[in-house]
Amino acid sequence: MNMRFSVWLWAFIACALAVLVLALVPSPPPMITTGWDKSNHLLPFGVITCLGCKAFPQRLTIVLPGLLAYGALIEIMQSLTPKRSAEWLDLFADCLGILLGWMLIRLLANNRHRK
């Protein structure tokens, strides 16, 4: 494993775990917010997707559906916690974040190849 791969991998794992913890704590700590719940789902899943695409560039057929399954798992786990709830629109926002993160990585790769 080279150093570059390892940095992306650790950033991916750290971000995914942070999202899981924040999604499941009964009362999340005060934090920066976009002001809209759905964009609070879209943004972290976009970031996790970018990190996942950089950590596993040859495995996107596993990473992208895996992230969608991760979002669904978080919603299921939230439905089992007393002070949180699951919503289909949250999963949809996660899906849009995944799509936007993947599109950003592709755009950046295309721009790099043009230069």
Q: What digits encode the pLDDT tens for the residues 68-78?
A: 999 999 999 99
In percent, the amount of the chain with pLDDT more than 70 equals 87
Each as own residue / partner, the long-range contacts of residues 59-65 (CB below 8 Å, 24 or more positions apart, any chain) are 60/102, 64/98, 64/102
List the domain boundaries for the chain.
40-54+61-115
Is the per-residue pLDDT at 53 higher than 90? Answer: yes
Is the per-residue pLDDT at 25 higher than 80? Answer: yes
Contact 102, 110 (CB under 8 A): no
Is the per-residue pLDDT at 26 higher than 90? Answer: no
**What's the confidence (pLDDT) of residue 5?**
63
List alpha helices for 25-87, DSSP H: 37-55, 60-79
Average pLDDT, the chain: 89
Is the per-residue pLDDT at 6 higher than 80? Answer: yes
